[in-house]
């Protein structure tokens, strides 16, 4: 059993409050609001422990380093939206691919699918840059 430190509680809270998967630097930036002295090495160690304890799941986006989300979210099928301005990734509720087998050539069978949408998020800074 690992110790429940202030840093680990802050990191767990960051993941619980996030609206999408986070990279280590994003976790650090958000956790520093509660624990100003927290370091990136602590974030990486805590992510590793949370993965081992199956509290987190890795999210792989094409051409990107791993991001992480609570394992409870990973249990249900979902997709992601990545803002091309700020780099944040958001979870999309539900699935817009009603019948994935209809997208394949005849006699092909889809076992699973992943979808990442790319665009501009609703943050003010991102919206102004895209206009």
Residue 40 has pLDDT above 90, yes or no: yes
- pLDDT for residue 30 is more than 90: yes
pLDDT in tens, 6-28: 999 999 999 999 988 999 999 99
* Residue ranges of the chain assigned to CATH 1.10.10.10: 1-74
Instruction: Give helix 24-31 / helix 6-17 axis angle, nearest 10°.
Output: 110
pLDDT at 113 over 80: no
Alpha-carbon distances, residue 91 vs 3, 81, 88, 104, 112 (angstroms): 30, 6, 10, 25, 18
Give 129's contacts (C-beta < 8 A, 6+ positions apart).
Answer: 85, 120
Q: 68: helix, coil or strand?
A: strand
Which of these CATH numbers, 1.10.10.10, 3.30.450.20, 3.40.50.720, 2.60.40.10, describes 1-74?
Answer: 1.10.10.10
CA distances (Å), origin 125, targets 28, 46, 86, 113, 130 = 21, 31, 8, 32, 9
Q: Determine the average pLDDT of the residues in 42-61.
A: 94
Q: Which tens digit of pLDDT belongs to each residue from 68-110?
A: 999 988 777 788 899 999 988 988 877 777 777 777 888 888 8
CATH number of 76-131: 3.30.1490.190
Q: Which pLDDT score, from 0 to 100, does residue 101 have?
A: 77
Q: What is the CA radius of gyration of the chain?
A: 17
């Amino acid at each position: 059993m690992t110790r429940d430190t202030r840093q680990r509680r802050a990191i767990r809270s960051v993941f619980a409050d996030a609206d999408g998967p986070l990279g280590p630097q994003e976790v650090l930036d958000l956790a520093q609001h509660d624990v100003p002295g927290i370091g990136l090495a602590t974030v990486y160690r805590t992510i590793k422990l949370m993965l081992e304890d199956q509290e987190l799941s890795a999210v792989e986006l094409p051409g990107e380093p791993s991001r992480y989300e609570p394992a409870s979210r990973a249990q249900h099928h979902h997709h992601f939206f990545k803002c091309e301005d700020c780099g944040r990734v958001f979870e999309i509720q539900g699935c817009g691919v009603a019948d994935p087998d209809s997208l394949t050539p005849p006699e092909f069978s889809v076992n699973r699918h992943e979808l990442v949408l790319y665009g501009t998020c609703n943050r003010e800074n991102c919206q102004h840059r895209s206009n």
